[in-house]
Amino acid sequence: MSLALALYQPDIPQNVGAAMRLCACLGAGLEIIEPCGFLWDDRKIRQSAMDYYDACGLARHQSWQSFLDRNQGRRRLILLTTKAVEPYTGFAFATGDVLLMGRESAGVPDEVHNAAKVRLTIPMRPGLRSLNVVNTAAMVMGEALRQTRRFDHERTGKKTGTF
């Protein structure tokens, strides 16, 4: 089971497209927890994701409960939130982790916050609110993949062609 990124009720279709590209390139799954804050239009989403749409391992869930039914107890849910105190840089990631991102406009409700096994944050300069969700996901996913040795080619100097 590989690392996955889950977007909770995303508001911005372009962020979904960028997340598809990120997950396709890094070999991570992408899970969308609906309802989205926009009308899901496959043609527009494919356009935003370019030719990465089919390569991202997309799973769509009609609700938070359907996402939980599929993942809870099987995979560790890690919420990335500005409300956390533990920085992602000191955390030990595992291969099957799901990095959970909240809505761009509102984060996640308490029910989702409380369901997460772990809550992590990215330390930022005081007075600034947050990073874009895909930028956040890329930073944390890179660290998780480094820790779980998915980037072994960097250590050995040999490209494996797979992640």
Dihedral pair phi/psi, residue 141, rounded to 5°: -65, -40
Full set of structural domains in the chain with CATH: 4-156 (3.40.1280.10)
Mean pLDDT lowest for which of 38-47, 84-93, 138-147, 151-160? Answer: 151-160
pLDDT at residue 100, rounded to an integer: 98
pLDDT at residue 42, rounded to an integer: 78
Helix ranges, the chain (H): 13-26, 42-49, 64-71, 110-115, 133-147, 152-156
Nearest partner of 103 among 34, 56, 153, judged by Cα: 34
- pTM for the model stands at 0.89
Q: β-strand 29-33 against 58-61: which pairing, if any?
A: parallel
pLDDT at residue 47, rounded to an integer: 74
> What value does the mean pLDDT of the chain take?
89
The pLDDT tens digits of the residues spanning 19-43 come to 999 999 999 999 999 999 988 877 7
The pLDDT tens digits of the residues spanning 81-113 come to 999 999 999 999 999 999 999 999 999 999 999
Exposed, middle or buried by CB within 10 Å (0-12, 13-18, 19+), for 23? buried
pLDDT top residue among 118 and 43: 118
- Angle between the 133-147 and 13-26 helix axes, to the nearest 10 degrees? 20
pLDDT interval class at 157 (50, 70, 90): low
- Per 3-state DSSP, what percentage of the chain is helix, strand, and coil (rounded to 5)? 40, 20, 40
Q: Could you tell me the two tokens for 74?
A: 């099987």
